[in-house]
């Protein structure tokens, strides 16, 4: 059995400004760095075999803070990228209320498929190991939806620097 610690990156400047980040790189705020520092402290006694992150900067930076405490490197994968918000990317979130999604927003089914691919990739590459995976709010919900065989809407939102454990 693989033990997956699925985590969300720390607070970013776009989170604070209510900007739809999507697949933008993102920059941790000082608060976000502090949040991840606390998470690293909480996970200091866990023996991780690997650290895997989304290939977006905000997740890599978050994962690296924790991995350094364990003297380990971070492997990145686009499978953990946040949902692609297409033309909504970079826009002020309150301005988007009531608007129809543009055609270039990543479909939920496509994201769920990517989440399933990620879980299979972790299981295949890290059997019987403990892995911390640093992702984003919505892709993490998709991963949990696939894992629990539930609709994505039924998965509680993850806060910045929160983690959940999945036994694969």
Catalytic residue list: 9, 82
Residues contacting residue 96 through CB under 8 Å, at least 6 positions apart: 20, 88
Residues in the chain: 168
75 Ramachandran zone, left/alpha/beta (phi>0; psi -120 to 50): beta
Q: What's the rounded Cα separation, in Å, for the pair 103 and 108?
A: 12
8 Å CB contact between 147 and 2: no
**Tokens 């989170």, located at residue:** 15
Helix (H) or strand (E) holding 58: helix 57-69
Determine phi and psi for 97, rounding to 5 degrees.
-60, 130
8 Å CB contact between 39 and 122: no
Within 10 A of 57 (CB to CB), how many other CB atoms are there? 16
């Amino acid at each position: 059995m693989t033990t997956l610690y699925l985590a969300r990156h720390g607070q970013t400047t776009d989170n604070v400004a209510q900007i739809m980040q999507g697949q933008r790189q993102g920059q941790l705020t000082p608060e976000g760095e502090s949040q991840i520092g606390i998470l690293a402290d909480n996970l200091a006694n866990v023996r991780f075999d690997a650290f895997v992150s989304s290939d977006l900067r905000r997740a890599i930076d978050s994962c690296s803070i924790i991995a350094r405490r364990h003297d380990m490197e971070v492997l990145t994968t686009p499978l953990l990228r946040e949902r692609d918000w297409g033309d909504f990317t970079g826009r002020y979130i309150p301005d988007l209320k009531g608007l129809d999604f543009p055609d270039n927003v990543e479909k939920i089914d496509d994201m769920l498929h990517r989440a399933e691919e990620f879980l299979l990739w972790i299981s295949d590459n890290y059997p019987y190991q403990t892995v911390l995976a640093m992702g984003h709010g919505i892709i993490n919900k998709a991963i949990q939806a696939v894992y629990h065989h539930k609709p994505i809407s039924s998965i509680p939102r993850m806060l910045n620097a929160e983690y959940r454990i999945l036994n694969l």
